[in-house]
Structure 1
Amino acid sequence: MKIKLLFALVVSFVTTTSVQTQKIETQIAWDTWGVPHITSNTVEDLFFAQGWAQMHNHANLILELYGSSRGKGAEYWGHTKFDNDMLIHTLGFDALADEWEINQDPLAKSIYSSFVKGMNAYVEAHPEAVDDKNKVVLPLTTKDANMHSMYVIFSRFIAGSDLGRVQQWPDLGSNAWAISPKRSASGNALLLQNPHLPWFNEFLFFESHLNLNGKNMYGSTLVGIPGIVVGFNEDLGWSHTVNTIDNADTYELELKDGGYLLDGERKEFEASTTTIRVKQEDGTIIDKEIPVMKSVHGPIVKKTEDKVLALRIAGLDRPNMVLQWWQMINSSTFNEFEDALKMAQIPFFNVIYADKQGEIFYLFNGLVPKRSSGDWAYWDRVIPGGKSADVWADVHDYTDLPKVKNPKSGWLQNANDPPWTCTIPMVLNPKDYPAYMSPISMSFRPQRSARMLMEDESITFDELVDYTFSTRLEFADRILDDLFAAVDASDSEKANQAKIVLENWDREANADSKGMLLFYNWASKFKVWKDSNYAVQWNIEAPNTTPDGLADPKAAVQLLEQAATEIETKFGNLESPWGDYYRIKYNGKNLPANGIDGSLGVFNVAWPGGADDNNMYVGGGDSWIGVIEFGDEVKAKVLLTYGNATQKDSPHNGDQLELFSKKEMRDAWLTKDDIESNTERIEVLNGNGFRVRE
């Protein structure tokens, strides 16, 4: 009996071991949209393949980004990059990257190392893919990858407004929804991923499908960063939106005798110099020495004769962001996912989550400084730097952050509004949190977001796709009745002509909408964001129905007269279709656009990035879009608006813009059959590179 049992255990062990060690061929199946479906059984090979794939689609962009975030852009490409190099040296990213490489978790080190090896291997195998001007950046190192991650996260997002690098983030932000089974027509949880970012450089997304030992992981990351930042698997998924978090502060210091004042006493700056090399027009290089100064607050980012500005950023001591995203995408349950969130390595972003078990969850994620006093308004400005009590050191724990799980409403949303309105009726009370945690407000886009959810008790998958592309203007629905009444009370013939056009308008910013152009011109003059323009100002007691009314009806009518006269003079009539004026101009394509910036309460965001005499052009907005249903099998439609490549000769540079212009999405190919049916070619790992399978 014992011998039989021992034999059975040995057989079981041998069988199990052979299954576990069975080699899965590492390969990249490229589909017809230029999306790599990567299969492997080791983390190292998986990220080597992703590095190879990113470089295949974005070689020149990545080298330009890495060269810039390395702080050597001026040396490689000339004086136009000097200010950016100076910023990187001032913030100390070079030394910080060395610290990160020492302190990173071994798995994070392996992810970065494998990713960089894959990128270098690609350009070794395909030197023709790299423009001559960018070859100077090669080879890439793991330090480069770390510096690029910190450059994007800290200088472009967290400290972006403090540095004047990115303006009006609430308008540039994102949408995300999680819908529980009680509000889903199928009884399955639904998730909407819809980040809004500029359509250029370090803000571009890269889409990929990763399969590690049979676990499917799908989504997008920012170009040059490994892994998946917004994604889903067969059990769960999440999206990020930029949150109303203040975890970078600018301090104004008073100078005295070459130092600065703190608590009434003079302090010395930490001072050093660094050299930035600058390429001249004739190709020669000159060295420029710049001073680098630090106070107890942080690095000095601006200096005048009697004042300096110092910048303090939270999260510089958290080197494992990429590892946290990797743990999130590898989770199978909410508890596992929450354990990943508790790592607290990602210094900002809201998290909106849904899973196969029907759980939905919202987290105001980030590293919020523990401040001695003050509310949001106190900290959302340049802070007088004379008090050491204002120089924060610690951050709030995960347990302190606003969060909501499975609300009675059955839905969660965020459209870059503060956490308090993530669901309605509100379940988070701002009074339960420090006054500096987040502001108290709800602009028109999140109001539109909440309205669509509140008005549909049973949302289908297809309806969720339609809602994603909604261009209905919440501001128009709120204000037009008041504007029409004001016109009726006036004797303006021009305003009455405009009123007729606006009465017939569908109140949407679709390409074929007639009246949107007129309304947009009026709204731009009205200044939607100005509280004093409304008869009833915004109130947290009625967060999704205020502000309302016109504070000065006569002035509003005068603005309508001006707007109508301008449109008629320029276009010959008041009813030119919106898409005739608003265009998508990208990589040789010129298509009609839908949407506008979110300030007017449009959910489908496409904000202007430039204009000429005849047209205005989209500069960013909807970027990565994912609509996911967590049933017995996960179902997903996705879109990467500008396509999954930037290489000049790639057919995927801008190839999804037609879908975006028509408000359409495409299927995410997740199953073996779907992938095989839509594969253009397969590359197989072969030594230090990939070969095309014949």
Structure 2
Amino acid sequence: MRTRLRRILVAAVALLTAASALPAAAAEGQNRQQHPSHGGLSATIRYTEYGIPHILARNYTDLGFGTGWAQAADQVCTLADGFVTVRGERSRFFGPDAAPDFSLSSAARNLSSDLYFQGVREARTVEKLLAEPAPRGPSRQAKDLMRGFAAGYNAWLEQNRVTDPACKGAAWVRPVTALDVAARGFALAVLGGQGRGVDGITAAQPPTTTSTAAPDAQDTARAARELLAADTADMGSNAVAFSGTTTANGRGLLLGNPHYPWQGGRRFWQSQQTIPGELNVSGGSLLGSATVSIGHNAKVAWSHTVATGVPLNLHQLTLDPANPTAYLVDGRPEKMTQRTVTVRVKDGAPVTRTQWWTRYGPVVTSFGASLPLPWSSTTAYALNDPNSANLRGSDTALGFSQARSTAEVLGSLRRTQGLPWVNTVAADSGGHTLFTQSQVLPRITDELAQRCSTPLGKVTYPSAGLAILDGSRADCALGSDPDAVQPGVFGPAKMPTLTDAAYAENSNDSAWLANADRPLTGYERVFGTIGTQRSLRTRGAIEDVSAMAQRGRLTVRDLQAQQFANRVPAGDLAAADAAKACAALPGGTATGSDGTAVDVSGACGVLAAWDRTVNTDSRGALLFDRLWRKIPAAQLWKVPFSAADPVHTPNTLNTAAPAFATALADAVSELRAAGIALNSPLGQHQFVVRNGQRIAVSGGTEFLGIWNKVEPVWDPAQGGYTEVTTGSSYIQAVGWDGSRCPVARTLLSYSQSSNPNAPHSSDQTRLYSQEKWVTSRFCERDILTSPGLKVVHVRER
């Protein structure tokens, strides 16, 4: 063992020394010409416990190569499926009517997904963005990473056999290009804009009749609120940074708890990336990305939360009376541009459709089934998505990876302006903290919305943040900020930002209460609301982290405890009242929604005895969860929200409302029908199945306010909650102790590989179930002394 370790150390030192000792010009020449693979790309991958790769390379192209190789080894089927999507080929391989993975758009069918992405490809949208000079377009380093990633993915395919049953032997698992990698990044950038409107973009056709009912303003506003709120239900997060004033050693701390899908293309994948003397970063990457999305280096740690900023707006078009495919701007007609796209279809003839584009963006006729935007003979709606000109996310991530402080994290955001739909929370070894909602948003000022909103927009903008502007007026253009890298978006000076607060926390509400003692105000409505009711998750998080900050002397252990405290804020507010109201029901019965009298007396003691947590051994948690989901939000509380006390209001369960007793009866009936005892431990009925074995899962739903969020599928026939759709994903608790190595504990809840035959498809899931952590191996000595160390040299043939 000692001899083997000595050889590894010598090889690693030689590689580190060779790369770092060269002058810049000579190193660049060697990087281009002198690889161990005789002119091809190569990297060294050191695997440690749980299959975590530490990728060592001489330059960015080689680093991309090693990253593409290692991601393919763990996630080839999921990656290949995503590449089929961005190539517009889902209908060709899977049929036009199947539902695609929603990771890269909201398309309901493969056909609409293909029509959109094939249109993007034929318009050369991504190529044009790649050709933009930095910082408007991606840097040379970012493009080198993409090129290397494609080469690494292809080399793995060439040199290995696919064993994952999801795509073993599939014709759609094929080599990719750097353009495919960039197109995947583009799809993630427009996820909240054009990606949200794919069905409405590809279905939009000129009207065939002269009369179409205008959308109702209140219905549209309600649908817009629901549409935008769904983002944080499906993909949200918590993150908190603590300053040195609250910690045991005066250095910063960061706990990141992103809530992302447990299946499909928006999974995280964990790695460390190192170019000696240039880059050294560890964390989680969204699949298909060659950069670390959320992570830490030796000096700074960061995480992201899905932001409340609305990354799109609509322009209501006044159409030319003589031509519904022309619209008026200052009285002059302007013809729409046709984008005719043909898609190959499995077992059928090719399908051709025409999309209609304007100076503002594509015409869109709906956002899902709930928000119709009819194209009539007089009116149409065009979607403006500024992130359709944003391929800068990789450079933002690279800037974070190389930052040495929270100030440099903020500097990267100001320089690259590449984040489409997330906030950033960061802490550093100097004890500083940062919260910023630095995202690419349409430049909708409140003044512009007041001056240019259509009657529909006057309702949707204040209610949901969705601006609908008068597209017939040139003076309603979005304009430009002098510090913005592209026209029509806000510059960095307008972003809500909080620095050096004792704590900086976000749980997907607006920036207002990132720190309840230092509220952020003065930002435009499109960023989010001020002085409005917070979610239970935000309220519970602020209670927890503010108490931690006041207690002080914090360490990484305190972050770990917070992640798995599994406190239920809704339970603390309502369980005791629910138990009392249950006990007071005449005869111990309540009437269910079907009119049946139900004996609920057994539920009263269970609710009273419940420990108000969602640990796997908690008894009563499942009963309260099913009860809570059935009470209409409008009938929950007696005491309403007050902006003067936003953390503690609304409160007091309205047990006098008829909805309470009905919900209790229905919850009891539901559990009994499923054969589940009212006091059964949560972990027996909240689980995932891996290799035929149940793994109990703690945590709970968004609506209970739980930090450790999971959203499983209720299936009473299978015994309760099965398979988690979204929730705690790449979790990290990071601090510093004065040594060169950060103190970091991590967890990837669903494990590294989606291949059920792989050795690392469920090992971290079992750790997550046991509430245990992985100790990050960041420094060389920690990597090289790993008991599970496996060194692989990968290269092109």
TM-score strictly above 0.5:
yes
**Which of 745, 762, 776 lines up with 1:637 in the alignment?**
745
- Give deviations 1:512-537, integer Å, cap 9, x for gaps: 1111121112111113xx34532222
Q: 138, 152, 172: which one pairs with 2:174?
A: 138
1:609–1:620 CA contact under 8 A, matched in 2: no
In 1, the alpha carbon distance for the partners of 2:49 and 2:430 equals 33
User: Which residue identity is paired with 2:431?
Assistant: G
Q: Aligned match of 1:541 in 637, 644, 657? A: 644
CA contact (8 A) 2:583 2:601 kept: yes
Q: Report SS of the residue matched to 1:201.
A: coil
Report the RMSD for the aligned CA atoms in angstroms. Answer: 2.9
- Pairwise mapping of residues 99-498 of structure 1 onto structure 2 (< 5 A)? 99-103=128-132, 104-128=138-162, 131=167, 134-136=170-172, 138-155=174-191, 157-158=192-193, 168-171=230-233, 172-213=235-276, 215-250=279-314, 256=321, 257-259=323-325, 262=328, 267-280=334-347, 286-302=349-365, 306=376, 308-342=380-414, 343-371=416-444, 372-374=448-450, 376-378=461-463, 380-381=465-466, 383=468, 387-388=472-473, 392=478, 394-407=488-501, 410-429=502-521, 432-440=522-530, 441-456=533-548, 457-458=551-552, 459-487=554-582, 490-494=585-589, 496-498=601-603
What residue in structure 2 maps to residue 668 of structure 1? 776
Name the aligned partner's letter for residue 611 of structure 2.
Answer: D
1:95 is the counterpart of 2:124 = yes
**SS in structure 2 of the partner of residue 59 of structure 1:** helix
In structure 2, the residue matched to 1:82 is 111
Deviation at 1:400, TM superposition (A): 0.8
1:160, distance to aligned residue in structure 2 (A): 5.5
In 2 relative to 1, CA 623–17 (structure 1 residues): closer, same or farther, beyond 3 Å? closer
Native 8 Å contact 1:218 1:228 kept in 2: yes
Query: What's the % identity of the aligned pairs?
Result: 23
Structure 1 counterpart of 2:215: none
- SS of the residue corresponding to residue 190 of structure 2 reads helix
- Match among 37, 57, 73 for residue 74 of structure 2: 57
**Contact 2:465/2:525 (<8 A) preserved:** no
2 CA distance for matches of 1:646 and 1:487? Answer: 44
| Aligned amino acid, residue 774 of structure 2 | R
**8 Å Cα contact 2:616/2:698 also seen in 1:** yes
**Mapping for residues 506-517 of structure 1, pairs under 5 Å:** 506-517=611-622
SS at match of 2:528: coil
| Aligned CA distance change for structure 1 residues 36 and 433 (closer, same or farther; 3 Å) | same
Q: Which amino acid aligns with 2:468?
A: I
Aligned-partner Cα distance in 1 for 2:707–2:491: 32
Between 480-489 and 555-564, report the one with greater CA deviation: 480-489
**Which range moves more in the overlay, 24-33 or 395-404?**
24-33
Structure-2 change in CA distance of 1:134 and 1:93 (3 Å):
farther
Q: Deviations over 1:366-393 (max 9, x none)?
A: 0222221258435545837655466635
Structure 1 runs, 4 residues or longer, greater than 6 Å off: 19-25, 164-167
Query: After the TM superposition, which of the residue ranges 26-35 and 89-98 deviates more from structure 2?
Result: 89-98
Asked if structure 1 preserves the Cα contact closer than 8 Å seen for 2:306 and 2:421, the reply is yes
Report the alpha carbon displacement of residue 182 of structure 1 after superposing the two structures with TM.
1.8
1:523 and 1:253 map into 2 onto residues whose CA distance is 44
Number of residue pairs matched by the alignment: 663
SS of structure 1 residue aligned to 2:619: coil
| Higher alpha-carbon deviation: 483-492 or 197-206 | 483-492
Q: Do the aligned partners of 2:466 and 2:526 also contact (CA within 8 Å) in 1?
A: no
Deviations 1:208-266 (A, max 9, x none): 11121155310011111111010100110110110001011345656653236556956
Q: Report deviation, 1:201.
A: 1.4
Q: How far off its partner does 1:616 sit? A: 1.8
Among residues 625, 628, 646, which one is paired with 1:520 in the alignment?
Answer: 625
Shift of 1:267: 4.6
Tell me by how many angstroms 1:503 deviates: 0.9
- Post-superposition Cα deviations, 1:599-650, rounded to whole Å, max 9, x if no partner, equal 1111111102452523222222011011111222311111111111123431
Inter-partner Cα distance in structure 2 for 1:654 and 1:667: 17
Q: For residues 93 and 585 of structure 1, do their structure 2 counterparts lie closer, same or farther at Cα, with a shift above 3 Å needed? A: farther
Contact 1:470–1:602 (8 Å) recurs in 2? no
Contact 1:30–1:679, Cα closer than 8 Å, also in 2: yes
CA contact (8 A) 1:93 1:147 kept: no
State how far apart, in whole Å, the 2-side matches of 1:273 and 1:651 are: 46
> Which residue of the partner structure matches residue 705 of structure 2?
601
Secondary structure of residue in 1 paired with 2:154: helix
For 2:223, the equivalent position in structure 1 comes to: none
Q: Give the conservation status (yes or no) of the 8 Å contact 2:729–2:749.
A: yes
The alpha carbon displacement at 1:186 in A equals: 3.8
Question: 1:497/1:161 Cα in 2 relative to 1: closer, same or farther (>3 Å)?
Answer: farther
**Higher deviation after alignment, 396-405 or 549-558:** 549-558
Give secondary structure in 2 for the equivalent of 1:436: helix
Query: Equivalent residue for 1:590?
Result: 694
Give the distance between the partners of 2:627 and 2:122, measured in 1 at CA: 45
Query: What are structure 1's unaligned runs of at least 5 residues?
Result: 1-15, 690-694
Are the structure 2 counterparts of residues 238 and 513 from structure 1 closer, same or farther at C-alpha, using a change threshold of 3 Å? Answer: same
CA 1:115–1:548 in 2, change beyond 3 Å: closer, same or farther? same
Query: Secondary structure at the residue paired with 1:203?
Result: coil
Separation in structure 1 between the aligned mates of residue 524 and residue 520 of structure 2, nearest angstrom: 13
Letter paired with 1:345: G
CA shift digits 1:182-220 (9 cap, x unpaired) = 212343311112111111111111111112115531001
Higher mean C-alpha deviation, range 81-90 or range 114-123: 81-90
CA distance in 1, matches of 2:78, 2:523: 42
After superposition, the Cα gap between the structure-2 partners of 1:160 and 1:500, relative to the gap in structure 1 and judged at 3 Å, is farther
TM-score of the two chains, using structure 2 as the length reference: 0.78
| Secondary structure class of the residue paired with 2:561 | helix
Closer, same or farther: CA 17–382 of 1 in aligned 2, 3 Å: closer
Matched, 1:628 2:734: yes
Task: Name stretches of at least 5 consecutive residues in structure 2 with no aligned partner.
Answer: 1-19, 37-42, 99-109, 133-137, 200-226, 367-373, 451-459, 480-487, 590-599
Go from structure 1 to structure 2 and tell me whether the alpha carbon gap of 1:446 and 1:166 turns closer, same or farther (over 3 Å shift): closer
What is the one-letter code of the residue matched to 2:346?
K
In 1: Cα distance, 2:127 partner to 2:383 partner: 21
Residue pair 1:411, 1:453 contacting (<8 A) in 2 also: yes
Tell me the TM-score normalized by structure 1.
Answer: 0.88
Could you say if the C-alpha distance between residues 465 and 193 of structure 1 is closer, same or farther in structure 2, counting changes exceeding 3 Å? same
- Aligned residue identity for 1:579: G
Report which stretch shifted further, 567-576 or 102-111: 567-576
* Alpha-carbon distance between aligned partners in 2 of 1:207 and 1:477, rounded to the nearest angstrom: 35
